[in-house]
Amino acid sequence: MAVQKTDLLLVGGGVMSVTLASLVSQLDASRSVMLVEQSAELGSESSDAWNNAGTGHAGYCELNYTPRSADGSVFSERALEINARFEVSLQFWSSLVAKGLLPEAGTFIRRVPHLSWVRGSKDCEFLRERHQSLASQPLFVGMEFSDSPDTLAQWLPLVTRGRESSEPQAATRVGHGSDVNFGALTRALGQSLSDEGQADIRTGTRVTNLKRRGDRWQVSLLETGTGEITEVDAGFVFIGAGGAALPLLQKAGVPEAKGYGAFPVSGLWLACDDEQLALAHNAKVYSQAPVGAPPMSVPHLDTRFIGGKPALLFGPFAGFTTRFLKQGSWTDLLTSVRGHNLRNLLDVAVGNWPLTRYLINEAMSPREARLGQLASFLPEARPDQWQLRRAGQRVQIIKANQHNRGTLEFGTEVLSTSDGSLAALLGASPGASVCVSAMLEVIERCLPELVSGPRLHALQALIPSYGQSLVTDSELLHNVRKFTLNTLGLEEKPSQPTSGRRVSHVDWYTTGESGRGESGRDHTFRSTGTA
């Protein structure tokens, strides 16, 4: 049997893999890239629009990114880091749109204001302190706070309508928040890679075996439609297969994956396809999670744009599952148990029983209970306009902590082998929103030659903030946002450039600038909270 060679083999056809392929193609077009996806099309699992919140996670509205510290103050560091990482994604997408490598931005991203909304004196005070903590930072300049009924009626017309309670309410608002169709983005990036001849993309193909041979990987691929098996010799393997990542790591037998386990969580939305209602709401409104709920269960009422049409989604409602993928098997969790991760799994099972019980109760909740939760956001909601829709699966990480006890992690983590020949992405949100910074970390760890010398200048042309901090450099941030908000149509009040042309980062950035040779916090991907 003939063996096909490739420099990079990317497993999984979601936004992470196509982002990595796009970065590599821009930095070194001579590298051969093969991408395989077991579904019939790219972006059909976690990246699909119905399988995620579609929120451009930037810390604007997600209250769980800003918990109270032990001293009672609002901890804002996590929100700042996530915001800066999302700005990296916006820069890369903007550059590809400007190059004509992505279609019109409105096909995958829309401006939808981000709001946090709370009720009760205690939560209103927390939101006020949160606003004070964040609004003093350059990344959050422009965030508004109000507890005025008149202002809240303007910001949240559907939420405030029909609400006669005298209970205190407050909200914050950022006008340039976004709704991102990650499925459409994934497929657009894949189409661009195919059109430019930069990647061999194979759908309906799954990995049946992978093993290390010297400094390379031998991978067996099965084309599900024909049963044909292909052997691939890859210099580097990236596993961006969502819930299937851990089983593939276990199949590869890499020691770095020992001790890792998985905790799958399912989800449901209440969806309304009344376009007039969706446009009247025109916001992503996040509130406080119920006590005992996992971070991904933060309730929110969102205007979404899916297939070019506006819709309303409320949820998500989390539930317990044993599947690792939406189209996976009920045996996924059982078959992932190994001798090296059993103790960690048991530690989490014992220590997180209240969470497990919460998820089981949520999974068994009747439709009426979910409509009751919707009514807390939308008092005049008509039950006949809302239908339950299944969301995607999320597989949380279980691993040993510093005390060698198993813990449940709600962030996203890049795992790589010591020789840099294989990397994988594990975990859940904020995931897709920070896909560019996550894949830059993969490149820095495993393909460092792509971020040095002339290629570093190419990267800085694509992502002008690379190597600098948007958290502290307000002038750089101003210039970056001038480019991205204009290019992606996210400005709340679009300005008309006097020159009559689109603003581009080449107007303010020169690749010969000094001091950009070291990578910095804007793209470094760490485990963070979720939403």
For residue 298, the model assigns a pLDDT of 79
* pLDDT grade for 525, boundaries at 50, 70 and 90: very low
CA torsion angle 365 62 333 232 (round to 10): 140
Nearest-angstrom CA–CA distance, 310 and 208? 40
- Domain extent listing, the chain: 3-445
For residue 9, the model assigns a pLDDT of 98
Confidence check: pLDDT of 517 > 50:
no
pLDDT tens digits for 206-226? Answer: 999 999 999 999 999 999 999
Integer distance in angstroms from the first to the last C-alpha of the chain? Answer: 47
Residue 372 CA to its chain's centroid (Å): 28
Tokens of 28: 């070194």
Residue in 149, 131, 150, 126 with CA at minimum distance from that of residue 141: 131
Nearest-angstrom CA–CA distance, 313 and 44? 19
Handedness of CA 362, 365, 369, 375 (dihedral sign): positive
Angle (deg, nearest 10), helices 15-27 and 182-195: 40
Tokens of 390: 């299944």
Instruction: Calculate the average pLDDT of the chain.
Output: 89
pLDDT tens digits for 260-304? Answer: 998 888 888 999 999 999 999 999 999 987 665 555 567 899 999
What mean pLDDT is predicted for residues 327-352?
A: 89
Handedness of CA 184, 155, 389, 380 (dihedral sign): negative
Confidence check: pLDDT of 394 > 70:
yes
Nearest-angstrom CA–CA distance, 379 and 374? 8
* pLDDT grade for 524, boundaries at 50, 70 and 90: very low
Find all residues with CB under 8 Å of 458, minimum gap 6, and list them: 26, 27
For residue 163, the model assigns a pLDDT of 86
Which residue has better confidence, 64 or 318? 64
Confidence check: pLDDT of 498 > 70:
no
What mean pLDDT is predicted for residues 95-112?
A: 97
Cβ atoms of 259 and 250 closer than 8 Å: no
The kind and range of the H/E element at 457 are helix 454-462
Q: What percent of the chain has pLDDT over 90?
A: 71
Going by the DSSP 8-state scheme, the letter that residue 360 receives in this structure is H
Beta strand spans in 27-182 (E): 33-37, 109-111, 114-119, 144-146, 169-174, 178-180
Beta strand spans in 12-58 (E): 33-37
Length of the chain: 531
State the fold for domain 3-445. Answer: FAD/NAD(P)-binding domain (3.50.50)
Beta strand spans in 308-454 (E): 309-320, 387-390, 394-400, 406-409, 412-416, 422-427
For residue 75, the model assigns a pLDDT of 94
